[in-house]
Structure 1
Amino acid sequence: MKLNRRHFLGTGIAASALLTAPTVWGQAKPKVVVIGGGAGGATAARYLAKDSDGAIEVTLVEANPIYTTCFFSNLYLGGFYEFEKLQHGYDKLTGAGVTVINDMATGVDRAARTVTLAGGQVLPFDRLILSPGIDFRDGSVPGWSLDAAEIMPHAYKAGPQTQLLKKQVEEMPEGGVFAMIAPPNPYRCPPGPYERISMVAHILKSKNPTAKIIIADPKEKFSKQALFEDGWNRHYAGMVEWIGPDFGGGKVEVRPEAMEVVIDGEVTKVACCNVIPGQKAGKIAEIAGVTDDSVWAPVHPDSMKSKADENVWVLGDSSAQGDMPKSGFSANSQAKVAAMAIRGELTGSKTFPAKYSNTCWSLIAPDDGVKVGASYEPTPEKIASVESFISEVGEDAALRKATYEESLGWYAGITADMFG
């Protein structure tokens, strides 16, 4: 089914009409605090405020007053999307009844049910939603740390890092080498690094056609691999070299000051290096004590409720939920399930069995878009994929163009669904 902005929003509006909660009179409003204003947190806050019809007091804590989406940031790198279009404010959420606080959450007392902010404010809650995205695992790439990110950017939290990486690519000397250190599983947006390679190759093909791209990858395979490799061969022949673990892709060291990458002992001088480290749940999830040895936060598949605390929900990238990828679409889908479950607990409104969905689009070259996705349902063990689809190698140009245009409609739809 083709997605567009009207369909994406219409689905949410229809669900809202069915699920509007009764107003609770004669008692203090229950309080929900949401930490993280991205695809999971903003969506959950908006749906809770909207569908409870003011019966729930919703507070969203987000450090950045302007949110820059990581999804679609690769298209900015490739010159297909303006940076400003990735940026979104919270004014419409405020107008919809959500209290937005631009501050950093630094503490969670689950026993007292309070959140402490960097500015000293303490927020009480009846229910807490954590949707802080990712943080990086220290030491996952020898030689690299956040201190080196201004030399070898990660650009996996969108914003100034994304702009820096684009600048570095565009300023590469003729014939220079672009290197990417790809992350181990699991990580945010599985197709993301390889779409990024496509966008970098697109820039270099026009501005620096003798440049080379190498990918050092610790994984034996990656999302949409056949589609990407076919696209690289068709559009950027001879430019892209993927080095998997069998050829040393998992034995990597970087030397930022010297601008060198060492792959299985072999030193390569590079002009630009994008290091995407191993990842973990956002720090506040660890502070709250809802992560486990996997460094992610286990949740109940039917609601996204934390397995560590019945009053806490964890959404999006930070959660360990099963088969769903760590994508913006997934977080948005999970947020609606969580908002419905929380609203049901706090106001007695009707709830329905959880269903989830996801699609990940990727642009390989102008008008050459591909996608992968699935529908999901909760089982006792995990959120499980029940039906999936993926683009095929060899599709005609008209279908690939339509797939790309579909992704544009999805971006307009999901950002409206998140921010109003």
Structure 2
Amino acid sequence: MKLNRRSFIGTTSLAAASLAAPAVLGAGKPRVVVIGGGAGGATAARYIAKGAKGAIDVTLVEPSRSYYTCFFSNLYIGGFRQLSSIAHSYGTLASAYGINVVHDWAVGIDRDARQVTLAGGAVLPYDRLILSPGIDFVDGAVPGWDVSAQNKMPHAYKAGSQTELLKAQIEAMPEGGTFAMVAPPNPYRCPPGPYERISMVAHLLKQTNPTAKIIVADPKPKFSKMGLFQEGWANHYAGMVDWIGADFGGGNVEVNADEMTVTIDGEVTKVDACNVIPAMKAGRICEMAGITEGNWAPVSGHTMQSRLDENIHVLGDATNQGDMPKSGFSANSQAKVAAMAVRGALTGSKVFPAKFSNTCWSLIATDDGVKVGATYEATDEKIAKVDGFISQTGEDADLRKATYEESIGWYAGITSDMFG
């Protein structure tokens, strides 16, 4: 099925099917605070407000006034989109759905008092709290790199200024120069993302700097859609991409941002641009709330409730939930389940069994799109994969073009679903 705005929303909106019951007479409206305005948080806030029809006060806390989607940001690097095309505002959520949008940082959570403290000093009480903060980086994950080096060696894994910076550095490379990427270990945001980025960097360099080289130092022995990407690199960018996996020292990496060097298994290479994507963990507010185990926040797939606090729901990249990848589509799907559960708990509206879906599209070259996806269901142990699909090597050009066009329809659909 070809996806567009209408069909995407229609096929993923079961969670909105229930009607909210009226709030209890004589009581104040229940209060929901959502922290993080991305694919999980914005969707959850919108679906709660829309479904509750005024019976719940919804506050969305997000420091950025313009939200840049990580998904499709690689296409900006490759020259297929303008940066403005992946920027979105929160005005419709406020004006059309009555959501109180607060542009500030959440800096503290008092779980006993059920209060969120903001950097500006405001305190927000809640009956239910939804955390969708995305990812932060594990300190010391790549020797020689920390966030103080991100201007010289950008991560560009939080879209916006970092994405702009990385593209500018690629465009400024000398003729025949070297681009390096340090890929992340599992699990991380958007499993195909680094390799779509390599494809887009190669696409850009093929046009502007065709003798340039790309080195990928990867701590993993294999990666998402590996056969599809390697086929695409051979077909479109022959001789340009050198992928160094774990078996060849790709996990033994150091960088020096001042000298612009990357050391792989003891071999030092001078580079002209370097994209360091470190190991990841749940957004810091999850740690501050005390709801993480290890690097991630464990949740129940039935409701997306934290396994450590039933009054908190966690969405998207920050979660340890089972089989779903950390992606924008996953976060959007989980947000609808959480919204349904929250409305049910606070207003008595009907709650259906949790169902989830995900698809990750990647662009390898002009009109050469590939995808991987699955459907999932909640069990008591985890969100479990039911079935899946993936593009095949050797597909004809018409099918690959149709896959790319499908992804464009999905992007229009999901961003409308998030921001109204």
- State the Cα deviation string for residues 221-246 of structure 1 (Å, max 9, x = none): 10000000000000000000100111
- State the Cα deviation string for residues 329-352 of structure 1 (Å, max 9, x = none): 000000000000010000000110
**How far apart are 1:11 and its partner, in Å?**
3.6
Q: Distance in 1 between matches of 2:89 and 2:180?
A: 34
Q: Distance in 2 between matches of 1:63 and 1:319?
A: 21
2:205 equivalent to 1:176 = no
- Give the alignment's Cα RMSD to 1 decimal: 0.9
Q: Distance in 1 between matches of 2:15 and 2:271?
A: 51
**How far apart are 1:217 and its partner, in Å?**
0.2
2:399 equivalent to 1:372 = no
Q: TM-score scaled to structure 1, two decimals?
A: 0.98
1:273 partner SS = strand
2:341 equivalent to 1:344 = no
Q: Distance in 2 between matches of 1:150 and 1:21?
A: 47
1:147 partner SS = helix
Conserved in 1, the CA contact under 8 Å of 2:36 and 2:132?
A: yes
1:103 partner SS = coil
Amino acid at match of 1:190: P
**How far apart are 1:61 and its partner, in Å?**
0.3
Equivalent residues in 2 for 1:4-403, closer than 5 Å: 4-11=4-11, 16=16, 18-24=17-23, 25-95=25-95, 96-293=97-294, 295-403=295-403
Q: Distance in 2 between matches of 1:54 and 1:396?
A: 50
2:400 partner SS = helix
Q: Percent identity?
A: 70
Conserved in 1, the CA contact under 8 Å of 2:45 and 2:60?
A: yes
CA distance 1:379–1:15, change in 2 (3 Å): closer
Q: Distance in 1 between matches of 2:390 and 2:214?
A: 26
Q: Distance in 2 between matches of 1:182 and 1:353?
A: 37
- State the Cα deviation string for residues 315-370 of structure 1 (Å, max 9, x = none): 00000000100000000000000000010000000110000000000000000000
- State the Cα deviation string for residues 46-71 of structure 1 (Å, max 9, x = none): 00000011100000000111111111
Structure 1: gaps of 5 or more residues: none
2:140 partner SS = coil
- State the Cα deviation string for residues 89-129 of structure 1 (Å, max 9, x = none): 00000011110000000000000000000000000000000
2:392 equivalent to 1:417 = no
Q: Distance in 2 between matches of 1:12 and 1:353?
A: 14
Amino acid at match of 1:177: T
- State the Cα deviation string for residues 263-282 of structure 1 (Å, max 9, x = none): 00000010100000000000
CA distance 1:221–1:15, change in 2 (3 Å): same
Amino acid at match of 1:5: R
Q: Distance in 2 between matches of 1:342 and 1:202?
A: 44
**How far apart are 1:303 and its partner, in Å?**
1.1
1:334 partner SS = helix
Q: Distance in 2 between matches of 1:88 and 1:301?
A: 29
Q: TM-score scaled to structure 2, two decimals?
A: 0.98
Amino acid at match of 1:116: T
1:19 partner SS = coil
Amino acid at match of 1:144: W
Q: Distance in 1 between matches of 2:98 and 2:149?
A: 41
1:48 partner SS = helix
2:117 partner SS = strand
